[in-house]
Each structure stands twice: as C-alpha cells, then as structure tokens.
C-alpha cells in the first residue's frame, strides 16, 4: 500500500492511538470533560480516515489523482483544527477554532463526495 491510501490509513492509526490514550486518561482521572474530543477524534480521525483510505485502496486510479491528495490535506487540516478546537470549547477558551475546523472538515467531506461521484465510472 502506498500513496494517499497509505497516508489515510497511517493517520487513522495515529488518531486511534491518541483517541484511546485520551479515553484511558479520562477513565483513570474520572474527568470526562473532553469526551467530545475523544469521540470526534475516534469517529472523524480513526473511522473516517480509515474508510477514506479503504476507498482509495480499492480505487487506485482515483488515489493517484491530484484531488485525492487535496482531499487528504484538507481532511487532515480540518481534523487538526476540529479536535483541539473542541477541547478549547469544552474548556471555555473559545469556540472559533472548533467552528473553523468543522467547516474545513465539512469541505473535506463534500470534496470526498465529489471525488466518488466524479470517478464513479473509472
């Protein structure tokens, strides 16, 4: 496995490790204020990125497109803002980073939908 499929899977595994570590920390400390961070990291980071990687693994011609690389960059950037942004929101610091990360993540999802439809006949 290589290319964008590898990077989505590798990222997904990294997000899973961090998500599990955060869950373990919360369980040990009995402080669940960051539960939404844990949930979004595991769902958007682990599950979505793994599914994106699977799609690109099954569709190697699509995986070699510039749109696939753009999708990886946008999805990563969105998650990198979304997860700490949710933590900032939960800690009462600001909600703007989570909002921006959410919008960028939504753009990544629409980009993925566009890619799937555009390359459906490949």
Mention every residue, 6+ apart, whose C-beta is less than 8 A from residue 60.
3, 5
- Condensed to tens digits (0 to 9), the pLDDT of residues 25-61 reads 999 999 999 999 999 999 999 999 999 999 999 999 9
Residue 6's closest CA among 66, 70, 63? Answer: 63
Quick one: pLDDT band at residue 1, thresholds 50, 70, 90? low
Tokens of 12: 């997904």
Tokens of 53: 């990687």
The model carries a pTM of 0.92
Cα–Cα distance for residue pair 108/79, rounded to 1 Å: 10
58-61 contacts at long range (C-beta below 8 A, 24 or more positions apart): 59/119, 59/122, 60/3, 60/5, 61/119, 61/122
Collapsed DSSP state (helix, strand, coil) of residue 1: coil
Q: Which residue has the higher pLDDT, 15 or 2?
A: 15
Quick one: pLDDT band at residue 83, thresholds 50, 70, 90? very high
Cα–Cα distance for residue pair 52/122, rounded to 1 Å: 17
């Amino acid at each position: 496995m290589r290319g964008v499929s590898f990077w989505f899977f590798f990222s997904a595994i990294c997000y899973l490790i961090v998500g599990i570590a955060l869950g373990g920390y919360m369980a040990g400390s009995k402080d669940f204020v960051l539960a939404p961070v844990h949930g979004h990291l595991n769902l958007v980071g682990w599950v979505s990125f793994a599914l994106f990687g699977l799609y690109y693994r099954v569709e190697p011609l699509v995986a070699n497109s510039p749109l696939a690389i753009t999708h990886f960059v946008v999805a990563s950037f969105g998650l990198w803002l979304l997860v700490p942004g949710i933590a900032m929101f939960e800690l009462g610091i600001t909600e703007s980073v989570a909002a921006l990360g959410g919008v960028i993540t939504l753009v990544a999802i629409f980009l993925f939908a566009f890619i799937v439809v555009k390359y459906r006949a490949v």
